Amino acid sequence: MSDLWKKYKKYMAAAGISIIVLLALTAFYVRYDYQQYCKEAVPILEYHGIGSADGWMKELFVSKETFETHLQYLHDNGYKMVSVKKMAEMFANGESTEKTIVMTFDDGYLDNYTNVLPLLKKYNATATFFVVHSKIGHYRYMTHDQIQSLIDNGMEIGSHTINHQILTDIDPQYLSWELATSRYFLKKDYNGYVVRSLSYPNGMYNSKILAAVKEYGYYWAVTGNAGTVSKKTMEQKPLELGRIYIDDSNINTFKERLRYSYWVGYLKERGINIHFFKSL
Ligand SMILES: [Zn+2]
């Protein structure tokens, strides 16, 4: 009896140790694999207005001071801040994308010119500005010349459609107007400028919209999904690039969101989709 008991205890101890070793090795491997992924993964930040909301859609605005803390943090941590187009070129050319981050600004608000452009220049950053064509020159939106100035300063202009209609809600016959004509108008307005990037209004799309976006000449499109961009994403799903929504939270929340998006991107790349985190 006691011999059997001793054997049993030995066996259990060995099994326990094996499990612990296996778990430790798995954790070690996942950590290593994650770090390898982070070396190429590129987060895309999603901003709207930078400055005072003045009682206007507060959730879309980040104060100038908060925005500068983001730029300062990224700059101090060795991040290279670029546009969607630049990121795509880096992946296509096989350049290192380690510590690369994409800055995007949706809707074409006036402060993108008055507040954002000087700060981006200060931190040697470029960005993609997604403009709503029908809003150009309207109250609180950038004018034609201000957008031209962004282009002259090396920024990328992308389409955020003509009317900011939710593409999944509109009659399919209007898709060419919102997608193809917005590209055409921007080309005409800005001296032959070729638009290749799109931001879906409210991040909404489906398989039919993806097909139309491709047909109308877009190479890259940003969504409201979580995650980061890798070489594989650029090759397989360039019209469904994930972004990190940035609001006026403090720098610690900013860092958490960044870390979180690398993990979501990593898990997606390994085939694990975390849909329930989408709204974070
Ligand atoms: Zn928008």
Count: domains in the chain: 2
- Alpha-carbon separation of residue 100 from 88, 225, 243 (angstroms): 11, 19, 14
The rounded Å distance from CA 107 to ligand 1 centre is 5
What residues pack around ion ligand 1 (CB closer than 5 A)? 106-107
* Torsion angle in degrees (nearest 10) through CA of 132, 138, 140, 143: 80
Predicted confidence (pLDDT) per residue in 49-108, tens digit: 999 988 888 889 999 999 999 999 999 999 999 999 999 999 999 999 999 999 999 999
The rounded Å distance from CA 38 to ligand 1 centre is 28
Question: Letter for the amino acid at 55?
Answer: G
Query: What is the predicted pLDDT for the residue at 236?
Result: 95
The rounded Å distance from CA 124 to ligand 1 centre is 25
The rounded Å distance from CA 53 to ligand 1 centre is 15
- Asked if residue 130 and residue 65 are part of one domain, the reply reads yes
Query: What is the predicted pLDDT for the residue at 275?
Result: 61
- Asked if residue 105 and residue 19 are part of one domain, the reply reads no
- Asked if residue 178 and residue 95 are part of one domain, the reply reads yes
Question: Letter for the amino acid at 99?
Answer: K
The rounded Å distance from CA 80 to ligand 1 centre is 25
Predicted confidence (pLDDT) per residue in 108-146, tens digit: 999 999 999 999 999 999 999 999 999 999 999 999 999
- Asked if residue 228 and residue 124 are part of one domain, the reply reads yes
- Asked if residue 73 and residue 14 are part of one domain, the reply reads no
Instruction: List the domain range (segments joined by +) for residue 9.
Output: 1-40
